[in-house]
Structure 1
């Protein structure tokens, strides 16, 4: 018994070269990299059909199966795969396991449900498609200052606070298996054999060639319909409850400046606009000044709300686009909301360079290019050219 040619899957990416405790530079303050914490691999049947082959019906047949389980590739809270961080995370999973895993958004429900197989012997078969479902958790490595044993400070890759879970799967395998076939206990084929319910009356009964008249097929269809409906109804991002007005304890105002250049973060004049890079002038009306409010510090990492002096509102990622790569930063009424909280990664003392990360999305802040009017956006891995490093003036 052999397997048909597998469908293509993405090759595992190279293992992440950045390691915990390794030195980093100021250009890395606005970047992050995934670190895989746990992995679990489980054989899973995605499509299945019980099928009788009798004398005279052997040979090649094409059989339509029922969807048994639907697996969708996802990384993090948004139930999808967006941005370089997610792709890098899944590539690291594949490399660490030595498996080819999917690194882009896809679902096993998009697979064809037909299986073509050459049956050489009569018998009761389970015709299947299956894969290895890969799940686990990840964390992130961020560049931040740490105090060494000699009292001096240095920049190192540290374990960041943002973490989450992932799901992916390996190459789709298809085939047919009988109750009497001896197959490995942890194989996909064994999972299909278990679905045959080999000790049942259905398995041992005489039956014409064709599909098994079993309640399992109806149940599988029902479960597949539920999974398909659930997949369609899942929203790409979670929308937090509307923020309530917060009373903030704020430090003196600062400018968030592009290092060595003249543009600063400036709050929008219009409610439907975003925070942009602007030149400070006498007409800026303090829209380019930001308070750090409700500041906490844990293991050298600052967490704060950014409240604008000019409009009195707080920086946030809009909830309806928070799941999107390159979603823009804007200001809203200050409230108790993790979308309004930011981690601030700092350079060594004496330097005011920083990187900023949204607490809810885990993405780093940056801009597409240095130009007046450019929006400040979120990037899942940060800006790899170093433009996500700013100065807190």
Structure 2
């Protein structure tokens, strides 16, 4: 059997502690499947005295993760600290600079510095693995980087944030308000005390930017994504979607167009009979559409200690099975220096069109004005529904729900802006894209 693979773990939170336990309790099985023993020889965390339920006797402790990356006698540096900069970035850079292999679950780090870190890894002949950075336990990185070699990917999309999916699921199934669902998510530990990064869509955007690079061979462009969160989704939207045969999900979507790569994160209506509509709670799902394989949909736990630790361990196992001198798989699917510049594509017409909800004054001429503004912008309407406003003190108002046929984003935005200028709206219009996924 080959010499043991020595690893150092930086970050002993939920994921790091779970990884430590799995490796320690399954050493014999891992040695058999990997062809060598995996041995934890160094760790680094903020609090040496915290009880993590793991036995760290015989393991070197480092207060400074950068020092561990720079000095420890390890083969693989495991980064589970989080953060786009600071200690995480410095430590990973130091480890790769030494020629150490690196495994990270840090999507923010990769979104900000992934291309540079991949280039450094290639220069030093090191492996940079990051399966756990996107969709937790779902092996989407390996699928795009290795399993789909030879396929031309046209679109990748999915539910990539468990917090948002949990909130939208509870709103739909239990008629709870957004605010009540968010509080419950925080109580259960699904949402942070400051949940903005999740509910505003930033977490999904970081993950999507990594998938875009793997799918289309472009440089990571995390700051070039159309972004909407779920804070404006109301129970009225959830109910209207259900009546029309849809569910609302926060999706990240990347697709190749004639003008470039379209990246967007936003609430989306999907048909109730589609597979992705059935993905509830904190579960994630990622779909890949390609020319040879067709449609592939992967569903699984997107977060949590064991799910994320499982993905990290899979990356470690791949390194353990690699052999010196063997050709390494490029971290981002192709050599970092051969990644193409990212060109942002125009947001295209959507096959399913748009859902538009308006609260308007209940007076003669309003309905005709709405229809005219839609027609003036070349928008064909699939359905129009009028109903009394749900707000008791607005009895002189109505809710108008429009569903359009396929149309361009700019046309919808222009029509809605024109309607706003007419002076009969109450509150902001709600516009939600409708997607009809191929997968399922």
How high is the TM-score relative to the length of structure 1? 0.30
- Relative contact order (C-alpha < 8 Å, sep 6+): which is higher? 1
Structure whose residues are more often helix by fraction = 2
Structure whose residues are more often strand by fraction = 1
How high is the TM-score relative to the length of structure 2? 0.28
